[in-house]
Amino acid sequence: MITTLDRLEWASSSIIEGAEKTDSSQPLRAEIRRAAQLAHDAEDHARARQHPKGKYTARERLDMLFDRDSFVEMGRFAGGNINAGVAGSAVVTGFGMIRGRKVGVYAQDFSVRGGTMGEAEGQKICHLLDMAMELKVPVVALIDSGGARIQEGVSALTQYGRIFSKTCEASGVIPQISLILGPCAGGAVYCPALTDMIVMTKDNSYMFVTGPDVVKAATGEQISMDELGGGYVHNATSGVAHYLGEDEADAIDYVRTVLAYLPDSSEEKAPVYPYSNGHAEEEAARRIGSIIPESDRQPYDVVDVIHCLVDYGEFLEVHELFAPSVVVGFACIKGQSVGIVANQPAVRAGILDVDASEKLARFVRLCDAFNLPVITLVDVPGYKPGSDQEHAGIIRRGAKVIYAYANASVPLITVILRKAFGGAYIVMGSKSMGADFNFAWPHSQIAVLGAAGAVNIIHRKELRKAQDNGQNVDEVRAQLIADYEKSTVNANLSLEKGEIDAMIDPAQTRETIERSLVLLQNKRGRRTHQRKHGNQPL
């Protein structure tokens, strides 16, 4: 594999050879040769530091991230001292191509002063972010750092503040993705936390505000780095990270794939790729109706439904390990890049809780920021009840879903697969929340409450009277449930009220979504009021 360093050395050698042929007194010849040797030695040093830990060097990671021979580095020796034998700063910045599209990058180099942040590093990163904003291209951050450089004191901390500010400025304008490929501690964790997505690996990835030693000194708790802030913890427990890579190569490949679904900036439409329907779509349409059981209490895997709806059955899931009662991710339908949101009946019946609400809301906001239509597949029994949820802020955190859908200006298409009850029905892309098209499968149930729960409340006196009279209460309850389902729970009432646009056969679902996307392709968001910004529940 030709590395970035090899290309640098080749370019330097070419300059030297050219200088020797044209003018033997060329004054920069020795300096250029020395710079090339410094670069070579620095990479040898980096490999010696990183490879024993099972980690790649910063430049090796860039070769994995970008298309072959496409990376152009900026300020290779900035922050260094060639005469003193210092090759450069602890961060590599530049631009390259990913699947033919320009992307900016900054990659921290742990082999140089532990990848710590100093004034030179901060200036390089801020300059990179400024250029990416000007060029309107995504930015990928490869994080592997010991944090702020203690020797530089407040100057190092100031650089983090500058990066925070510029990351916020770029938020919602250009996609920003962080790859955690080493330690990320202290105030440094807020750099990736402010970006759109965070990707970690099973080994060597760590994020924490205070490390294990500080935790032990402050609280007496003994905890390992993995348990405190490892990749699995932040993917499955805290929800800080969005994907857990098997290794660095897998994590980098995931980032490349995510960027294929996103536009270069908020000023562009979501990507559209050539695609023609064929036999595979016909087979998927026949199969989709058999996935969902007749009983509304029997679980199924909604990802199987998604695979039947999207191109090539390819679905890139986001936040897979966190709040698994909802599923979110990217896909294409007839070549159109879209975001998919769905309840997962295989996990706690697809219920909404505090974590699922935040996961869902953040993803809808991401899609809206970068012009991806949102397809919502609904099979939800409601919000999770209990004091633990109330005390954890289900009111405040559940309201984030409402805010995300109500403020979305992208095409919103909702399909009710089986049931949609109570407040969860309203917030999951209902017509009243601003969805453009709402469809329902036959036998779907839409109501304030499920039939069994509603009958127990509405007919409690009647059921008590039946018991007192010696009647079979179960039979009475079953009849009342059947009557309630026939009159109230079925989707006909929603059809009559215009809350559902059409009842569709499962086999028609993909075709219906395709047609809806075509109709909505020129949808433009409009602002009804002038304001600085809304006050979203946080």
Q: Count Cβ atoms below 10 Å from residue 77 Cβ, excluding itself.
A: 16
Distance CA 538, CA 535 (A): 9
What is each CA distance from 400 to 259, 367, 404, 527, in whole angstroms? 25, 15, 6, 20
Q: Nearest CA to 241 among 154, 139, 320, 186? A: 320
Q: Nearest CA to 345 among 311, 388, 306? A: 306
Q: Nearest CA to 373 among 255, 513, 198? A: 513
Three-class DSSP labels, 411-468? CEEEEEEEEEEHHHHHHCCCHHHCCCEEEECCCCEEECCCHHHHHHHHCHHHHHHHHH
- For 436, the token pair is 């453009």
Alpha helices per DSSP H over 209-294: 212-219, 225-229, 231-236, 248-261, 279-288
Placement of tokens 């920069």 in the chain:
28
In a 3-state reduction of DSSP, which class is residue 125?
Answer: helix
Catalytic residues: 186-187, 423-424
DSSP state of 117: B
Distance CA 336, CA 338 (A): 6
Q: Nearest CA to 380 among 417, 431, 413? A: 417
